[in-house]
Amino acid sequence: MSNIRITKQFSFETGHALYGYDGKCKNVHGHSYKLSVTVIGTPITDKTNVKYGMVIDFSDLKKIVKEEIVNVFDHATVFNKNTPHIELAKELEDRGHNVMLVDYQPTSEMMIIDFAKKIKNRLPEHIDLHSLKLQETETSFAEWFAYDNI
């Protein structure tokens, strides 16, 4: 049976700030992120299986990515907890804002590494994460490929 890639696309609105950065993105601002998730596997051949002919049900992939990423990052502001931004984050949290503290600089590159780990941990054994594409703006995106990270 052939290996087939399956892709599902997501979008979420997230704020962030790059502490110590030498450009305008050191300021708190936000993006309409677009995330494409591609998994690879062989379609199920068992005709009695309700998922017959599918690598993975798009709905099951959606559930994983929504629970791990979209529901967590959407309308949250992400700060690197290892910087003085922790103070700003605490202040915003105390005032009822949705803040997310991460252990890294929240660039597209570092976010996509985090997303890859989270999605891989949730995929069924017979399905592999092939690649991710995280689009920050119309002209800027990061990509993660499994074969770059063996």
Name the one range near Zn ion by CB under 5 A: 1-9, 25-33, 117-125, 142-150: 25-33
- Annotated active-site residue 25? The verdict is yes
Range 60-79 burial, b when 16+ CB lie within 10 A, else e: bbeebbeebbbeebeebbbb
- Is residue 143 close enough to count as binding ligand LPXRUNBV by CB under 6 A? no
Range 107-119 burial, b when 16+ CB lie within 10 A, else e: bbebbbbbbbeeb
Among 14, 77, 108, 131, the residue binding ligand LPXRUNBV under the rule CB under 6 A is 108
Nearest to 87, CA basis, from 76, 71, 75, 101: 101
Backbone angles phi, psi at 82, to 5 degrees: -90, 20
| Shortest separation between residue 140's beta carbon and ligand LPXRUNBV, angstroms | 4
Name the one range near Zn ion by CB under 5 A: 23-31, 47-55, 88-96, 116-124: 23-31
Please report, as ranges, the residues that interact with ligand LPXRUNBV according to CB under 6 A.
Answer: 18, 23, 25, 107-109, 136-137, 139-140
> What positions carry a catalytic annotation?
25, 75, 136
